[in-house]
Structure 1
Amino acid sequence: MQDFLFIAAAHFLALLSPGPDFFLVARSALAQGWRCATGACVGIALANGVFIVAAFSGVAILRPGSSLFIAVQLAGCAYLLYLGWMFLRHAGNSSLQMSGAAKRATSWRTGLGMGFISAILNPKNALFYVSLASVLASRHTSGGWVMLYGVWMVCAVLAWDMTVALAIGNAALRQRFTRALPVLERLSGGMLLLLAAALLVNLAATAGH
């Protein structure tokens, strides 16, 4: 349960920092309304599901202790350190102001496709889930728990993006979120650095045996 709470917290804090997927949902909600934006939300969640399955399956087939296994873990750790540092370094520099791009009507299916493409082409998504999968593999997490983590993260992505789609059109809420961004980004960076430290400790303990 402790591992679940740690993984869930790290994942959720990472969601709070705006990225390409966040701005796609925000732009869709402002331009076409929240109903159309839900299509993008579902597409993003599906792409995250693909990454989760690929990452967890890919790490699961690696033999523990092998050079490739250790390389994957070190790469994941390096990415977590980089991402955590970037969050801390650029905390407070993000903006929720939308560009003046032309607004045009799009269907729910178009939003679904746009959301999926946006998320599936974002390398940060793949690297983040490989990093989490490396942590779980290093702790010899059972298949049942891994499945639960995967389902939880897909649902968390969908729930968060749906919340953004519903709330982003509200000017007061958008201003409050903008003010809270620096704190949220610092929390995200700190949690990612802790996750990387936990992975390094597990690697060092494994190498010492």
Structure 2
Amino acid sequence: MFLEVFLVGILAAMSPGPDFFVVMRNSLEFGYRVGIATAFGITLALIVHITYTILGFAYVMQAYPSLFISIKILGALYLIWLGYNAIRSAPPKNDEKLKSEVESVQNNKTLMQGFREGFLCNVLNPKAALFFLSIFSQFIKRDTTGWTHWIYGSEIIFAVGGWFVLLAILISYSKFRSLYKKYAYWFDRLLGGILIYFAIRIMVSAVKLV
């Protein structure tokens, strides 16, 4: 059972979603440190989701649908904000200017921004709440001990967080980053459009619940 929970966590993390694209964009544009910071932000959000799920907050959301709808709308608005900022990014005039701008952002506040983006992207994503609710409802029975709940949760945190850290390291290699810098103008717009697409899907699902 423990292995099954771990595998489910890995597969869920590898499926493209808002978290995946945020880690990928930050890793390509700012390097592996910012990407890892983003992954750590996602990991902290996972701890939040698992904690309230185990403590029963997921059942509160089921009992009060308006609360869940509000979370869905907040998550969609944040994804729209991320997507909008990516789409409106200006094309670099030359490589030196791009390099100096990236280094300036990195030195001042990029690590914290990456961490915050990762945290907010995941903690405001209603699909994360649904994911943990479905996982725990499938693998946890009435006679399952409390410590087993936390082991399952820790497995998912390790699997998902570890995958995003690995993704940040792999995708920030110089060849990937050079390709990204060359086509950053269009790549940002593509990722921004994908994030907005996810936001629209969340909005639509929220409207259906009203």
Which residue does the alignment assign to 2:31?
A: 33
Separation of aligned partners in 2, 1:135 and 1:20? 24
Q: Provide the identity percentage.
A: 35
Say whether the 8 Å CA contact 1:26–1:168 is kept in structure 2.
yes
Tell me the C-alpha RMSD between the 2 structures: 3.0
Gaps of 5+ in 1: 63-67, 70-97, 175-209
User: CA distance change for structure 1 residues 172 and 99 in 2, over 3 Å: closer, same or farther?
Assistant: farther
With structure 1 as the length reference, what TM-score do the two structures score? 0.58
Q: Deviations over 1:82-137 (max 9, x none)?
A: xxxxxxxxxxxxxxxx9794575242111111111000111110100011111233
1:159 aligns with 162
Gap regions ≥5 residues in structure 2: 64-85, 91-97, 178-210
Q: Do structure 1's residue 8 and structure 2's residue 11 form an aligned pair? A: no
What is the alpha-carbon distance in structure 2 between the residues aligned to residue 48 and residue 4 of structure 1?
A: 18
Following superposition, the deviation at residue 158 of structure 1 comes to 1.8
CA distance in 2, matches of 1:21, 1:126: 14
SS of the aligned residue for 1:107 comes to: helix
Map 1:95-106 to 2 at 5 A.
101-102=89-90, 104=102, 105=105, 106=109
User: Counterpart amino acid of 1:51?
Assistant: H
1:114 equivalenced with 2:117 (yes/no): yes
Instruction: Give me the whole-angstrom Cα distance separating, in 1, the residues matched to 2:111 and 2:58.
Output: 36
1:23 counterpart residue number: 21
**131, 134, 151: which one pairs with 2:134?**
131
Instruction: Decide whether the 8 Å contact of 1:42 with 1:112 is kept in 2.
Output: yes
In the aligned structure 2, how far is the partner of 1:24 from the partner of 1:135?
29
In the alignment, what sits opposite 1:58?
56
Residue 147 of structure 1 pairs with residue 150 of structure 2:
yes
Provide the rounded CA distance (Å) in 1 between the counterparts of 2:11 and 2:20.
13
Cα drift, residue 173 of structure 1: 8.4
Contact 2:5 2:155 in 1 (8 A): no
State the match for 2:45 in structure 1: 47
* Contact in 1 for aligned 2:58/2:129 (Cα 8 Å): no
Question: Greater helix percent: which structure?
Answer: 2
TM-score after normalising by structure 2 = 0.58
Contact 2:19 2:42 in 1 (8 A): yes
